[in-house]
Structure 1
Amino acid sequence: MDNETRKKVELAIAWIGPLFIFAYIVFWAIMGNNLPPPNMMGMSGEELVANHYGKYQNMIAVGMIGSAVFGMLYLPWSILLAWMLRDEDGSFSLFGYMELGGGILTAWVLAFCPAIWAACAIFAHEMNPEMLKLVHVFTWFIYDTTFMITTVQLTGLGLYVVLAKSQNLFPRWTGWGAIAVGIIFMPLVLIPFVSSGPFAVNGTWNFYIVFGTWLFLFFAPFSYYMIQAVKKGSTLMPVVASSYAH
């Protein structure tokens, strides 16, 4: 692949990041009635059907199917990001593999869980309400309490940015920000055990702070600098870039 073609492909993939986040906000947050999500641990099955799945059945079903489709866009974005995390000799770095592995698994969760919530919406009036609540809650536990896969991604990314002195793709503060977001995820383990307060599924910390910092401290800045790096043709370490030029 010649340099100009490679640059066009990388730029298209870099822009997939903003497309993913826009689509996920529309389908998962707005159409999925997740601003904030229902307080599942403080609701009965009948209340979950009456106030969530039954009330917004068609909108949630469409929103969750859309989320399952567009959630996988996180995958090519994460792959491009891992591609940029090279050691000085041009080889893939350990931290790059951490980012890649975490990104792959995170993309799967972002697509897999909404598909199950779509089924809950479609069969909301045919399932036993308590069974529907069990499936809904079980899926939320997968969605949130497996946060460590994304924390691994963020930690690998952050350590690379902070420790790779020769890289100039991302400012050091973005690396520290990525690590901080991974730590901010930790209280998600409390979701199964609380039904109110900041650590509930719809609480100040475990919803607004977690998703807000993930978006504005991690995803937005890295998407911006990825796009800028591709535009400048500087997505690789100099030694690797020179090999592509020949």
Structure 2
Amino acid sequence: MSPETELAVKRGIAYCGPAFVIGYIICFGLLGHNIPPPKMLGLTSADFVASYYTRFPEVAIGMIGCCVAGLLYMPWSCLLASMLRSQDGSLSVLGLLELTGGLLTGWLLAFCPALWAACSLMAGKIDPGFIHLLHLGTWLIYDCTFMITTIQLTGLGLYVVLSRNQTIFPAWTGWSALAVGASFLPLVLVPFAADGPFAVNGLWNFFIVFGIWLFAFFTPFSFFMLRALSGDRRALAEGAGRTAHA
């Protein structure tokens, strides 16, 4: 593969990140009626299913869309890991933490919506208690396995902070990644909070946690990834120009 082709491939992969965010907001948030998610504790199963799955049959379409959009997080995480190199050029152990956490996060972003799609498709056809159980259990998997993404952010943050020779990401982005990873800790309270800031639809455990993930982690790292790739493209163009004039 020529350097020009490789760079074009990397730029395409970098845009998988923004495509994931836009697609997930549309499918999970809008079609899935998850801004915020429905209250799932403190309701009877019949009331819960009637107020969410029966009322919004388009949830199934949105969740299947998430199965596609969510997996776009995987190639974006792979490209990010490829930028976390040791001095000898090999992928660092911190880069492997970022890669592993990113791959598992991508899987989770697709797997859980598939189960919610099943809930939507079976609403009104089977016992609402089973649908309620599957919905609740899937949300606990979605939120309470936050350590997957925290590991990704910890590996990334430590690499940026400790690798003084790397010039792609400013040090503040590393500290920001570490802070975002730590902010997920209150998600362990989701199973026990029917209402309030730590509920599944609460101020902290939904709006703040996912908001700072988007604006304090994903957005700055996407920006600096694309900026680095743009610099590589300019360097290739300048090199080609010098060769042409030689």
- Cα distance in 1, alignment partners of residues 41 and 82 from structure 2: 40
Offset, 1:42: 2.4
Offset, 1:101: 0.5
Identify the residue that residue 167 of structure 2 maps to in structure 1: 168
Identify the residue that residue 134 of structure 1 maps to in structure 2: 133
Amino acid at match of 1:227: L
Identify the residue that residue 232 of structure 2 maps to in structure 1: 233
Residue pairs, 1:71-86, within 5 angstroms:
71-86=70-85
Consecutive aligned runs of 4 or more in structure 1 exceeding 6 Å deviation: none
Q: Deviations over 1:161-212 (max 9, x none)?
A: 1000000101111111110011000000000011011000000000001100
Q: Deviations over 1:120-162 (max 9, x none)?
A: 0011111211111000000000000000000000000000010
Amino acid at match of 1:216: F
Q: Which runs of 5+ in 2 are unaligned?
A: 234-246
Offset, 1:225: 0.8
- Cα distance in 1, alignment partners of residues 70 and 186 from structure 2: 23
**TM-score, normalised via structure 2 length:** 0.93
1:31 paired to 2:8: no
**TM-score, normalised via structure 1 length:** 0.93
- Cα distance in 2, alignment partners of residues 181 and 19 from structure 1: 21
Identify the residue that residue 218 of structure 1 maps to in structure 2: 217
Amino acid at match of 1:127: I
- Cα distance in 2, alignment partners of residues 187 and 25 from structure 1: 23
- Cα distance in 1, alignment partners of residues 151 and 227 from structure 2: 25
SS at match of 1:110: helix
Offset, 1:43: 2.0
Residue pairs, 1:70-219, within 5 angstroms:
70-219=69-218
8 Å CA contact 1:11–1:227 kept in 2: the answer is yes
Offset, 1:47: 1.6
Bigger radius of gyration, 1 or 2? 2
Identify the residue that residue 244 of structure 1 maps to in structure 2: none
- Cα distance in 2, alignment partners of residues 176 and 42 from structure 1: 38
Q: Which runs of 5+ in 1 are unaligned?
A: 235-246
Amino acid at match of 2:181: G
Amino acid at match of 2:41: M
Over aligned residues, Cα RMSD in angstroms? 0.9
Offset, 1:51: 1.1
Amino acid at match of 2:20: F
- Cα distance in 2, alignment partners of residues 45 and 206 from structure 1: 23
SS at match of 2:33: coil
Offset, 1:72: 0.4
Offset, 1:85: 0.2
What is the total number of aligned residue pairs between the two structures?
233
8 Å CA contact 1:7–1:231 kept in 2: the answer is no
Q: Percent identity of the aligned residues?
A: 55
Higher mean C-alpha deviation, range 125-134 or range 40-49: 40-49
Identify the residue that residue 55 of structure 1 maps to in structure 2: 55
- Cα distance in 1, alignment partners of residues 205 and 52 from structure 2: 20
Identify the residue that residue 237 of structure 1 maps to in structure 2: none
Amino acid at match of 1:117: W
